[in-house]
């Protein structure tokens, strides 16, 4: 797991950014810090325990890598490819994820809580024990994926596809939902109401 050391700026409760003694917003050379994190994350094979919280990454190829315990919390990810990568205990909470590709990922115990996901693909993925609670998902696809024990509670899902998915033990209870399809998915196995949430 990435370091939980606190930012050295007085009163700041944020966790230190990769390679810094402060969070990204209390560092005076944001671009250099982001580039250093990007170099580590792009390494062939992947990265472990990197805290890239609040970084802005655009047009980045992180495909076919293995990421363990990394934080992308509050990041702005645009056109970032995680295609075919393994993601274990990685955090994307409150991130803005736009036009990104997570297709074919093997993601376990990852969190996308409160994130904004748009125009992105999670097709053909293993998304096991993943958290999308409070996420706002639009124009995206999860089709052909195994979403075992993942949660989509109190978020929003619009114009998205969950076709041919394995929804066993999936908690699918968004606050708002429109134009979302589940063709060929075993929706009967999903938990669709809050009454059964703690069973």
Residue 73 binds to Zn ion (criterion: CB under 5 A): no
Closest approach of Cβ 50 to Zn ion, in Å? 17
Distance CA 35, CA 78 (A): 15
CB under 5 A: which stretch of 6-14, 97-105, 138-146, 153-161 binds Zn ion?
Answer: 6-14
Q: How far is CA 192 from CA 19, 34, 148, 151, in A?
A: 43, 40, 14, 10
Count how many Cα atoms sit within 13 Å of the Cα of residue 160 in the half-sphere of its side chain.
24
Residue 23 binds to Zn ion (criterion: CB under 5 A): yes
Closer CB to Zn ion, 7 or 147, in the complex: 7
Tell me the Ramachandran region of residue 167: left when phi exceeds 0, alpha when psi lies from -120 to 50, beta otherwise: alpha
Closest approach of Cβ 86 to Zn ion, in Å? 30
CB under 5 A: which stretch of 2-10, 36-44, 76-84, 116-124 binds Zn ion?
Answer: 2-10
Among 6, 9, 149, 159, binds Zn ion (CB under 5 A): 9
Residue 30 binds to Zn ion (criterion: CB under 5 A): no
CB under 5 A: which stretch of 5-13, 120-128, 150-158, 166-174 binds Zn ion?
Answer: 5-13
Closest approach of Cβ 17 to Zn ion, in Å? 9
Distance CA 105, CA 146 (A): 11
Among 26, 30, 138, 159, binds Zn ion (CB under 5 A): 26
Closest approach of Cβ 37 to Zn ion, in Å? 16
Does residue 76 contact residue 57 with C-beta atoms inside 8 Å? yes
Q: What is the enclosing helix (H) or strand (E) of 57?
A: strand 56-61
Distance CA 9, CA 94 (A): 22
User: Which residues are near Zn ion by CB under 5 A?
Assistant: 7, 9, 12, 14, 23, 26
């Amino acid at each position: 797991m990435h370091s939980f050391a606190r930012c050295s700026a007085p009163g700041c409760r944020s966790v230190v950014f990769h390679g810094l003694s402060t969070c990204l917003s209390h560092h005076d050379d944001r671009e250099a810090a982001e580039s250093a994190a990007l170099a580590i994350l792009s390494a062939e094979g992947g990265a472990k325990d990197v805290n890239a919280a609040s970084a802005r990454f655009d047009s980045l190829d992180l495909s076919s890598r293995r990421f363990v315990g990394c934080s992308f919390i509050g990041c702005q990810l645009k056109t970032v490819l995680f295609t075919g990568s393994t993601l274990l205990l990685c955090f994307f909470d409150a991130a803005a994820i736009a036009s990104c590709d997570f297709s074919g990922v093997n993601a376990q115990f990852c969190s996308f809580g409160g994130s904004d996901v748009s125009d992105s693909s999670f097709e053909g993925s293993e998304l096991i024990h993943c958290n999308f609670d409070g996420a706002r998902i639009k124009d995206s696809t999860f089709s052909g994926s195994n979403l075992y024990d993942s949660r989509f509670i109190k978020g929003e899902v619009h114009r998205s596809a969950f076709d041919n998915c394995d929804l066993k033990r999936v908690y699918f209870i968004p606050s708002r939902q429109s134009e979302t399809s589940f063709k060929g998915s075993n929706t009967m196995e999903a938990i669709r109401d809050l009454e059964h949430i703690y069973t």
